[in-house]
């Protein structure tokens, strides 16, 4: 279990998600692409902004682009841990999106991380202060939940009616429902809730 993922992630400006996902967009890394028939090839890969994977068997080879039609996902081999990405069909979205895997189980949870730089302008004042521009990195996270019995993943519950939606989603796990009603579980605990469900409630189905 990735214990560090249990921290509040909604309001944190930079987290491990950003390091893992955004790094995969920057440069080629050691990776393995996984095909739909269960076979795989190891080489070097990076993720493009349109959710395709550029892959080459050796560093000096020309890369080829792979999509959800050809592969089911990619694993990046990092010094500390492997990072898995899978193509996931989303509710009301035509094309599957390549998402980072947080947890796979009877309920799976995935994250999509994007980052951009925002310029903050500082105007001159009456004393003639020099106009400056400060760049601030803005990182956003979109979380998706998928039940094993469902074909599509749903976006993480929104700000409004979170408790009501979460109770319905985890309705067959009394322990989680009780903790939601007692306000022990809130939006920041969604990953912990998924871990708990897979460890203790999955067998209740």
Beta strands of the chain (E only): which ranges?
29-35, 40-47, 53-56, 64-66, 71-77, 82-88, 97-103, 107-122, 132-147, 154-155
| pLDDT given for residue 114 in this prediction | 74
| pLDDT given for residue 8 in this prediction | 38
DSSP helix, strand, coil percent of the chain (3-state; round to 5): 25, 40, 40
Name the pairing type of β-strands 29-35 and 71-77: antiparallel
Task: Compute CA distances 67 → 89, 98, 190, 193, whole Å.
Answer: 13, 9, 30, 32
pTM above 0.85?
no
More confident residue, 17 or 45: 45
| pLDDT given for residue 24 in this prediction | 62
Given a contact cutoff of 8 angstroms between Cβ atoms, the answer to whether 74 and 47 are in contact is yes
The answer, yes or no, to whether residue 17 has pLDDT greater than 80, is no
What are the tens digits of pLDDT across the range 123-149?
Answer: 555 555 555 556 566 677 889 999 999
The answer, yes or no, to whether residue 4 has pLDDT greater than 50, is no
Mean pLDDT of the chain: 83
**Non-local CB neighbours of 22 within 8 Å, separated by 6+ positions:** 113, 115, 139
In degrees and rounded to multiples of 5, residue 157 shows phi and psi of -50, 140
Given a contact cutoff of 8 angstroms between Cβ atoms, the answer to whether 89 and 152 are in contact is yes
What are the tens digits of pLDDT across the range 152-189?
Answer: 999 888 778 899 999 999 999 999 999 999 999 998 89
| pLDDT given for residue 74 in this prediction | 98
């Amino acid at each position: 279990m990735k214990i560090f993922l249990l921290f509040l992630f909604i309001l944190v400006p930079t987290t491990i998600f950003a390091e893992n996902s955004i790094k995969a967009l920057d440069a080629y890394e050691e990776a393995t692409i996984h095909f739909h028939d269960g076979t795989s090839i190891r080489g070097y890969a990076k993720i493009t902004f349109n959710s395709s994977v550029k892959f080459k068997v050796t560093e000096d080879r020309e890369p080829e682009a792979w999509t959800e039609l050809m592969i089911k996902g990619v694993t990046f081999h990092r010094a500390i841990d492997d990072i898995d990405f899978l193509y996931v069909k989303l509710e009301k979205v035509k094309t599957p999106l390549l998402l980072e895997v947080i947890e796979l189980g009877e309920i799976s949870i995935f994250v999509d991380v994007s980052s951009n730089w925002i310029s903050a302008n500082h105007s001159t004042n009456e004393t003639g202060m020099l106009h400056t521009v400060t760049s601030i990195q803005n990182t956003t996270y979109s979380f998706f939940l998928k039940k094993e019995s469902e074909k599509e993943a749903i976006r993480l519950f929104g700000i409004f009616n979170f408790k009501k939606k979460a109770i319905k989603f985890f309705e067959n796990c009394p322990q989680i429902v009780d903790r939601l009603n007692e306000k022990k579980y809130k939006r920041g605990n969604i990953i912990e809730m998924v871990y708990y469900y897979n460890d203790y409630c999955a067998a209740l189905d």
